[in-house]
Chain A
Amino acid sequence: MTTRVQKEHFDPWQEMASFQAAHAQDWAGRYGATAVFVGSLRDFNQGQSVTGMNLEHYPGMTEGYLEKISAEACARWELLDTLVIHRYGPLSPGEPIVLVAVWSAHRDAAFAACRYLIDELKTRAPFWKQESRSDGVRWVEENKS
């Protein structure tokens, strides 16, 4: 169970590769399923072009909730491990915002846990998106989907 909140850009595929490499010995032959969700910044929202974003968070509470949500997923499904990385600070369109990855013996648990992690993160982890659009800067009001 690993969670990270960081200002720096990250490459989700490199993170996946190094996480798997670090566990190569422990995990050899033990997982049959890896489910991954990567959320990236679109350059449009509600018909407006988005030129950038600033992500505010509540340091401490954010990390606490990412860990809590990961522990809930591990308690609910049989998982080998989970990895969650989330950005904060300024972001440009096309950049990854969040990575959620789950390793499990079987696909049902992997898909379900991955979905659970991203859905719970979106409703409970204290992050706030502020978009820069052609008509100015505005706070994204709520996570609809």
Chain B
Amino acid sequence: MSSITVRYFASLRERLGRSEDIVDAAGLVCVADVWKRVCAEPLPANSLVAINQEYASIDSLVRAGDEVAFFPPVTGG
């Protein structure tokens, strides 16, 4: 598997107009690189990120086969 699955939720999903992208992992080192690949605009400042369904940071390293998610602050409860 040489791709990374990128998922978006809530207002970020609406802003991008899609819920998922599958991108080639080649050249992607960290979460910030993944965002640059999928969107030309900067990631909104308060966004949260997850790798394989665990919270991560914008500097966290990514690998082929990972699921990377971007979403706004959570509002459950």
Contact = CB atoms under 8 A, between A and B. Distances in A.
B77 A126 contact: no
A58 B76 contact: no
Interface residues of B, number: 17
Interface residue SS majority, chain A: mixed
Nearest to A56: B10
Given A64-B53, A128-B71, A128-B72, A58 B77 contact: no
Contacts, number: 73
Contacts of A118: 77
Interface residues of A, number: 27
B19 to A, nearest CB: 10
Contact of A139 (B7, B11, B46, B77): B11
Interface string B48-77: 001001110000000000000101111111
A122 B77 CA distance: 5
B69 A128 contact: no
Contact of A55 (B7, B72, B76): B76
A57 interface: yes
Interface string A104-145: 000000000000001001111111111000000001111100
